[in-house]
């Protein structure tokens, strides 16, 4: 019995969470997968219920779960709140001790036309960005801001780099066995250390093809030849930039899932998009990012590869039929609930 903590969040979160859970209910019966759902408020909904975005009740439920499936948080309703919903995200990630953020991108043939890139460039893209979350410029000390001078420090330890790099090698081993490590070792001392650690760890993964790239060259290569890459691992700042660059290649944020992995072994799965409060309750939100977050959870937290594959194939078949939500086809589109029903029908 797997305990799944579902945090619907704000805006369209409850709608797309409902889609994912309806699909999970159907596919779990097919594979005799036993699970239990716990639910709790988070973000703006938690502010309304408890006066804070990350409550003690949620912390208690986290201790008893095997994985967390979460919607997006925030919205203009809480712009003037004492503590904004987004502050809950930072607190949650700190509580879980997350060290790796993972964003996959797979461009389906039926959706190539959405990409800002030419179809012949983007078609067949299937890659994953693995971003380190605990070190680098965002957490480095000392830092200061003065009237005419500012300082940020980029710091990394061998252990921080080794942890994320081993995770990336393990992930590549489960995919196409290709790993690209991104740094700026021609300039930065931390990148020189990063490259050394990658080379050290690579000795334990001789079955994985490794290449190094400078971050500026990587940014260009993702636009000119994205199909070349499988797993890309990099430090915090570079990963933040590259993962946002990758997010536009598929043409819609509504397609992008993400995961954050923690030292506590409890992983957090969520769409990469925002809470879209402007369309909340209208039954037009794209549930695919949440559905793919579900398949990531099944695959990486519960080792249910076949279940995940079945769901992903069902989504692909529905898209191939031309059945899409409004963000993908503004002229001929179906509702969130109708799209979910179509996927369930394909699951048989």
> Mean of the pLDDT values across residues 123-151?
94
Tell me the pairing of strands 267-271 and 231-234: unpaired
pLDDT of residue 94: 87
Per the prediction, the chain carries an average pLDDT of 94
Query: Which domains can be identified in the chain, with CATH numbers?
Result: 1-98+262-347 (3.40.718.10), 107-255 (3.40.718.10)
Q: Which two tokens stand for residue 317?
A: 């078949």
Per DSSP, the three-state class of 137 is: coil
| pLDDT tens digits, one per residue of 245-266 | 998 998 888 899 999 999 888 9
Poorest-pLDDT segment among 149-153, 327-331, 333-337: 327-331
Q: Which two tokens stand for residue 332?
A: 């001929």
DSSP conformational letter for 37:
E
| pLDDT tens digits, one per residue of 199-225 | 999 999 999 999 999 999 999 999 999
Strand segments (E) across the chain: 2-7, 35-39, 67-70, 98-106, 126-132, 144-145, 150-151, 178-183, 209-214, 231-234, 257-262, 267-271
Beta bridge partners of 29: none
Give whole-number Cα distances, 162 to 165, 170, 189, in Å: 5, 12, 16
pLDDT of residue 253: 82
**pLDDT at position 348 over 80:** no
Which residue pairs, CB below 8 angstroms and at least 24 apart, start in 138-147?
A: 138/236, 138/237, 139/236
Residue with tokens 């893209």: 125
| pLDDT tens digits, one per residue of 2-45 | 999 999 999 999 999 999 999 999 999 999 999 999 999 999 99
**pLDDT at position 234 over 90:** yes
What is the percent of the chain with per-residue pLDDT over 70, rounded to a whole number?
Answer: 100
Give whole-number Cα distances, 196 to 141, 190, 193, 279, in Å: 23, 10, 5, 48
Q: Which are the catalytic amino acids? A: 138, 184, 216, 240, 244
Beta bridge partners of 259: 102, 269
Poorest-pLDDT segment among 63-72, 259-268, 282-291: 259-268
Residue with tokens 């990587």: 218
| pLDDT tens digits, one per residue of 291-321 | 999 999 999 999 999 999 999 999 999 999 9
Q: Which two tokens stand for residue 325?
A: 């939500």
Answer for the pair 260, 92: CB distance below 8 angstroms, yes or no: no
pLDDT of residue 265: 83
Would the annotation count 10 as a binding residue?
no
Tell me the pairing of strands 231-234 and 178-183: parallel
Would the annotation count 275 as a binding residue?
yes
DSSP assignment of 158-198, as one string?
HHHHHHHHHHHHHHHHHTTSEEEEEE-TTT-HHHHHHHHHH
Poorest-pLDDT segment among 58-62, 86-90, 212-216, 225-229: 86-90
Would the annotation count 173 as a binding residue?
no
Would the annotation count 93 as a binding residue?
yes
| pLDDT tens digits, one per residue of 95-114 | 999 999 999 999 989 899 99
More confidently predicted of 90 and 168: 168
pLDDT of residue 339: 97
């Amino acid at each position: 019995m797997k305990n799944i903590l579902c945090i619907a969040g704000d805006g369209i979160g409850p709608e797309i969470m409902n889609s994912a859970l309806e699909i999970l209910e159907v596919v779990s019966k097919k594979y005799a997968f036993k699970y239990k759902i716990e639910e709790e408020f988070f973000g703006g909904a938690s502010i309304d219920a408890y006066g804070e975005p990350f409550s003690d009740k949620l912390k208690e439920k986290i201790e008893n779960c095997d994985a967390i499936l979460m919607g997006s948080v925030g919205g203009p309703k809480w712009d003037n709140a004492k503590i904004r919903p987004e502050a809950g995200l930072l607190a949650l990630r700190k509580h879980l001790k997350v060290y790796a953020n993972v964003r996959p991108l797979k461009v389906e043939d039926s959706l190539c036309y959405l990409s800002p890139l030419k179809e012949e460039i983007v078609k067949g893209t299937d890659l994953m960005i693995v971003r380190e979350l605990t070190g680098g410029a965002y957490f480095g000390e000392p830092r200061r801001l003065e009237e005419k001078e500012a300082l940020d420090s980029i710091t990394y330890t061998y252990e921080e780099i080794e942890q994320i790099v081993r995770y990336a090698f393990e992930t590549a081993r489960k995919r196409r066995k290709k790993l690209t490590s991104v740094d700026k070792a021609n300039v930065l001392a931390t990148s020189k250390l990063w490259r050394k650690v990658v080379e050290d760890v690579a000795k334990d993964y001789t079955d994985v093809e490794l290449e190094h790239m400078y971050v500026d060259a990587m940014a260009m290569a993702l636009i000119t030849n994205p199909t070349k890459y499988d797993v890309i691992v990099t430090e915090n700042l570079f990963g933040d930039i590259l993962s946002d660059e990758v997010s536009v290649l598929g043409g819609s944020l509504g397609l992008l899932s993400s995961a954050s992995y923690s030292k506590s072994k409890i992983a957090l799965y969520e769409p990469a998009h925002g809470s879209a409060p402007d369309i909340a309750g209208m039954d037009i939100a794209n549930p695919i990012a949440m559905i793919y977050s579900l398949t990531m959870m099944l695959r990486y937290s519960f080792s249910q590869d076949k279940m995940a594959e079945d769901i992903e194939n069902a989504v692909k078949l529905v898209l191939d039929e031309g059945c899409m939500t409004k963000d993908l086809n503004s002229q001929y589109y179906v509702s969130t609930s109708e799209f979910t029903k179509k996927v369930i029908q394909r699951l048989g």
